[in-house]
Structure 1
């Protein structure tokens, strides 16, 4: 689906920060059928049908991971709110001209996220269709503390998940609209797993995606599994970036619109 803008307090953009950007670029081009290009400021973006779907950055040798950016009208004010509510400003707001202004932040439990104040670029230009990002969620040990923090930062509220998953799930609400999720960690997660944000991609065929992942050097941590709303898999790219994919049940695919 073509996206032309994002309301404040809405996840709007995801970037893979990779220790080996060249290897990551090869993997994602192969597994999703994306192309790639360079922006005016030298950044790398992935495209589907010539529309920007996600970004790629060099982590400088650090571990790889997907980073969720949340739209804001004032990156400086949001960073100040984070710092004043027990979070951490990892990278202060800075201009990324001509595209926008961004900051890298962490919640009190260590979950890292970014905020994006748009200028010439609003965020992903295509989403909520196969081979694009369809969902972002906070993965946490402490739902109550997470709800309290993000409620103060973005004005989000929480409701029980309504998509029919098999485990208890929560959804983020902004301006009476579902904008993301909260996934509680349980005994299936290794002790000490930090709170984090997770990026989820829509796919058409989970089994075929798993096969492509393995052929291209990625790993499958779990899946395909019945997630209640479809078949899902938890995978890791060859550089260590983890993400989820979901093949929605046919009767639920209208939810992506």
Structure 2
């Protein structure tokens, strides 16, 4: 799976939602994912999205009052505790953890200096994604932030990501995250087109075979299309919102 599920690389993504059954129905209808609840009361309603027999992501109920419906991207680390120290030493903050998740692993949730929230995963029994970069699985992880210089400094220090390569998509507003020379995500500067109340955030992308058909299907299932299918150099993408408010992107790749 290329660079996924190894230190500093994307390891997992999960959805916190106000209506778990509705979310399972929406994403099942859109991507063919099956929901499998963790069969323990202590899991608090958490479950795994499966694409066939492979883990493609997770889901669970919003646990805190006022917690927004959102997808959360996780990056693999060798030590969640050591990463927490690196985060705070470089201007970030701890949102939750570090904490053990049964025998599955150890996690923590952080905010970078601009407020974008992300997670880290120290794997034990649960290694993370079982499938990536195929139709109906996660393929790209994108940071939207107003201070790209500060973000670059922070994520280099915390994860050791390679220097970002400028303008891979033909625009100075976009840069690319790399690990050991391989791309796994990007970063976009939030310009004046973004309302000031929209905070910096990480966006997950799901690969699809036909972006236009998937966007139309999302609307049929009760979701919204925030950015209609648009052609960009890597292919064709759209920004969608599920019926409970979770925002994510889809992309069909040109190659």
TM normalised by structure 2 equals 0.92
2:158 corresponds in structure 1 to 153
SS in 2 for 1:68: strand
1:16 corresponds in structure 2 to 15
Taking the TM superposition and a 5 Å limit, the aligned residue runs for 1:116-155 are: 116-155=121-160
2:52 corresponds in structure 1 to 49
Taking the TM superposition and a 5 Å limit, the aligned residue runs for 1:1-257 are: 6-39=5-38, 41=40, 42=43, 43-60=46-63, 62-161=67-166, 163-165=168-170, 168-249=173-254, 252=255
1:50 positional shift: 1.2
Between the aligned partners of 1:184 and 1:56, the Cα distance in structure 2 is 28
**Could you say if the C-alpha distance between residues 150 and 4 of structure 1 is closer, same or farther in structure 2, counting changes exceeding 3 Å?**
closer
- Aligned partners of 2:177 and 2:184 also within 8 Å: yes
- Aligned partners of 2:142 and 2:186 also within 8 Å: yes
Structure 1 stretch 12-21 or stretch 65-74: which is displaced more? 12-21
Between the aligned partners of 1:112 and 1:164, the Cα distance in structure 2 is 25
- Aligned partners of 2:162 and 2:180 also within 8 Å: no
Number of aligned pairs?
A: 249
- Aligned partners of 2:155 and 2:161 also within 8 Å: yes
Between the aligned partners of 1:137 and 1:231, the Cα distance in structure 2 is 16
SS in 2 for 1:190: coil
Between the aligned partners of 1:237 and 1:229, the Cα distance in structure 2 is 24
Superposed CA deviations along residues 225-244 of structure 1, whole A, max 9, x for unmatched, are: 11222111100000100001
1:255 corresponds in structure 2 to none
Superposed CA deviations along residues 118-143 of structure 1, whole A, max 9, x for unmatched, are: 00011110010110000101111111
Structure 1 residue runs without a partner (length 5+): 253-257
**Could you say if the C-alpha distance between residues 235 and 11 of structure 1 is closer, same or farther in structure 2, counting changes exceeding 3 Å?**
same
- Aligned partners of 1:3 and 1:124 also within 8 Å: no
Between the aligned partners of 2:174 and 2:15, the Cα distance in structure 1 is 25
- Aligned partners of 1:106 and 1:113 also within 8 Å: yes
Between the aligned partners of 1:36 and 1:49, the Cα distance in structure 2 is 11
Structure 2 residue runs without a partner (length 5+): none
Between the aligned partners of 2:50 and 2:170, the Cα distance in structure 1 is 30
